[in-house]
Amino acid sequence: MTATTSQTVGGTGLRIGERDFTSRLIVGTGKYANFALMREAIEASGAQLVTVAVRRINLDPSKEENLLDYIDRTRVTLLPNTAGCYTAEDAIRTARLGREAGLSNLVKLEVLGNPQTLLPDTEALLEAARVLIREGFVVLPYTNDDPVMAKKLEDAGAACVMPLAAPIGSGQGILNPLNLRFILEAVSVPVIVDAGVGTASDASVAMELGADGVLMNTAIALAQDPVKMARAMRLAVEAG
């Protein structure tokens, strides 16, 4: 079975673990000019899964403006992520912190290799994934475009694999479509293209190649009009 036939909802949606989503677009919450603009863009995107960096949000009740106050959790599911972690231990600790704070047992697992490229350290990623899966987390790992590693992550129990299209924030689009096809053939869990998607056409190409979903942040948040870009990305994913 391929991911595109085994893990979709009614042929059009997305299944992550036991959760079903009608939208295949996942969006981030960083880099926006302000939280109000972020909220508008999320609404325009139609995304039902929204990722937040555990290390960058205020988990304690306070009077300070809080990113979480601008997310309607009755309409979207939070996807905590471990952005900014460079070791398996740090990523595991951050994931636990997010769950203990009541965010979710979902985790977009990121273990970065270095701050220049923001490429994943896949050895540490696999180590962290195994630990968190044993602890009951639903793990969505950000990985490279290596089909061998994608299969190892699936075998470890990952709910999906999230190969990069290009380095985070680069906007370069899908640099290696052949490897993406290999990954789609290698695994039966959903394949969600993550990082490097810069334009609506990039998003459509990812879906045309057979991806089950697309995650993006920079392309929307840093657009001249983030709300219009969010709407364009929504339509591109639907069209693809």
Site of tokens 């640099």 = 175
**For residues 31 and 22, is the Cβ–Cβ distance under 8 A?**
no
- Is 151 annotated as catalytic? no
Question: Residue 56 carries which side chain, given as an amino acid letter?
Answer: R
Question: Residue 9 carries which side chain, given as an amino acid letter?
Answer: V
Active-site residue, selected from the candidate residues 108, 151, 152, 228: 108
Question: Residue 43 carries which side chain, given as an amino acid letter?
Answer: E
Nearest one of 38, 48, 101, 102 to 70, comparing CA atoms? 38
User: Element (H or E) spanning 25, and its range?
Assistant: strand 25-27
Question: Residue 225 carries which side chain, given as an amino acid letter?
Answer: D
**For residues 226 and 37, is the Cβ–Cβ distance under 8 A?**
yes
* SS3 (DSSP) at 154: helix
**For residues 205 and 239, is the Cβ–Cβ distance under 8 A?**
no
Say how far apart CA 36 and CA 169 lie, in whole Å: 22
* SS3 (DSSP) at 120: strand
Nearest one of 150, 148, 152 to 162, comparing CA atoms? 150
| Encoded tokens for 141 | 């790992």
**For residues 129 and 139, is the Cβ–Cβ distance under 8 A?**
yes
Residues facing 161 on adjacent strands: 191
Residues with catalytic function: 108
